[in-house]
């Protein structure tokens, strides 16, 4: 049996706000530690039937980057849900929501810039 590890280091400022997120994976093709501006990790507790989440973002994560990050995560979750359940219609509904979410965000950004 093989084992793989993911290491995450978070550099905090004096107020415990993330300044930098670095991660590496033992099975990654990347030789170096990777930097990230945000991360979302979820674990499923099968006993309690609950999701445990860790959501962090750095001070320099821009609002438009956060919207794009969430759009991409929602689209990816829809793909994962489809692969895991074979429920194409539900996956398509999730993607429709993600697209509407992102379109609304972009419209708000344009409105705020006027």
pLDDT 10s digits, 94-109: 999 999 999 999 999 9
CA dist., res. 36 & res. 58, Å (int): 8
CA dist., res. 54 & res. 41, Å (int): 5
Cα dist from 92 to 33, 37, 79, 85, 97, whole Å: 35, 28, 9, 13, 9
List the chain domain ranges.
Answer: 1-59, 62-114
Selected residue with higher pLDDT from 102 and 112: 102
Across the range 41-68, mean pLDDT stands at: 97
CA dist., res. 57 & res. 19, Å (int): 8
CA dist., res. 114 & res. 106, Å (int): 13
């Amino acid at each position: 049996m093989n084992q793989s590890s993911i290491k995450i280091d978070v550099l905090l400022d004096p107020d415990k706000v993330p300044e930098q997120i670095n991660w590496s994976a033992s099975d990654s093709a990347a030789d170096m530690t990777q930097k990230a501006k945000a991360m979302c990790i979820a674990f499923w507790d099968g006993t309690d039937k609950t999701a445990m989440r860790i959501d962090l973002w750095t001070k320099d994560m821009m609002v438009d980057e956060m919207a794009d990050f969430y759009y991409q995560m929602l689209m990816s979750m829809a793909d994962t849900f489809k692969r895991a359940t074979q429920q194409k219609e539900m996956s398509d509904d999730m993607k429709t929501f993600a697209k509407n979410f992102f379109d609304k965000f972009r419209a708000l950004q344009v409105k705020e810039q006027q």
